[in-house]
């Protein structure tokens, strides 16, 4: 069973999205706080990112936001985070998020969320880390992505054993139970390999 103390959440920065996705972000933020887990996220106040952080803080949770200095205005760094780290650049932000967290959860999001998801998946595929990854397929939002990935396996572009790189949760309530069943990572992020 994985010992998880902090969870990195990747999700959209858009606010103009379905209410069910906004609810999922709030529900996850609260669930993390209630479980005593630190939220690690991109540090913004906008979109599902902001809602997740707000809910975690409102429930008394610890929140570490990491935002690159060039985005600090655009995404508006969340001033009420327990800890707000302003990184030099996007690469360093993503590295720090991955290094600090014990597990990763992907909520609905846009291109940035996809970038972060595939980065963390490919780093795991390459053996750079061994931490659990859960894709939260809220309202089937990621169905087309999961279908594309199924085709990648079918066409032998991704090896069959790499199906085990990630799990899928159909709703927020299943995320923490799935994480609890994941094996203990054998190592954290290997920085000097990146």
Sites of contact with ligand AMP (CB under 6 A): 12-14, 42, 44, 71, 75, 90, 109-113, 115-116
Cα(32)–Cα(51) distance, integer angstroms = 13
- Is the CB of 21 or the CB of 182 nearer to ligand AMP? 21
Joined together, the tokens standing for residue 145 give 């992505």
Which residue number is nearest to ligand AMP in terms of Cβ?
112
Cα(3)–Cα(188) distance, integer angstroms = 12
Task: Give the up-direction half-sphere exposure of residue 61: CA atoms within 13 A in the CB hemisphere.
Answer: 29
Q: Smallest gap, in angstroms, from Cβ of residue 190 to ligand AMP?
A: 20
CB count in 10 Å sphere of residue 182: 18
Q: Smallest gap, in angstroms, from Cβ of residue 33 to ligand AMP?
A: 21
Q: Are 41 and 18 in contact (CB under 8 A)?
A: no
Joined together, the tokens standing for residue 99 give 């290094």
Q: Smallest gap, in angstroms, from Cβ of residue 156 to ligand AMP?
A: 28
- Is the CB of 92 or the CB of 115 nearer to ligand AMP? 115
- Is the CB of 6 or the CB of 180 nearer to ligand AMP? 6
- Is the CB of 63 or the CB of 182 nearer to ligand AMP? 63
């Amino acid at each position: 069973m994985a010992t998880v103390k902090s969870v990195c959440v990747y999700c959209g920065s858009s606010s103009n999205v379905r209410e069910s996705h906004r609810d999922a972000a709030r529900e996850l933020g609260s669930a993390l706080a209630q479980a005593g887990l630190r939220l690690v996220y991109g540090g913004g106040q906008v979109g599902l990112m902001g809602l997740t952080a707000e809910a975690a803080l409102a429930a008394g949770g610890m929140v570490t936001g990491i935002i690159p200095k060039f985005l600090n205005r655009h995404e508006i760094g969340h001033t009420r985070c327990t800890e707000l780290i302003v990184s030099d650049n996007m690469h360093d932000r993503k590295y720090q998020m991955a290094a600090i967290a014990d597990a990763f959860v992907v909520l609905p999001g846009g291109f940035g969320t996809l970038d972060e998801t595939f980065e963390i998946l490919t780093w795991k595929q390459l053996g750079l880390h061994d931490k659990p990854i859960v894709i939260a397929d809220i309202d089937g939002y990621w169905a087309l992505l999961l279908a594309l990935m199924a085709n990648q396996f079918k066409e032998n572009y991704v090896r069959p054993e790499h199906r085990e790189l990630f799990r899928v949760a159909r709703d927020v309530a299943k995320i923490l139970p799935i994480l609890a069943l994941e094996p203990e990572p054998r190592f954290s992020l290997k920085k000097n390999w990146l």
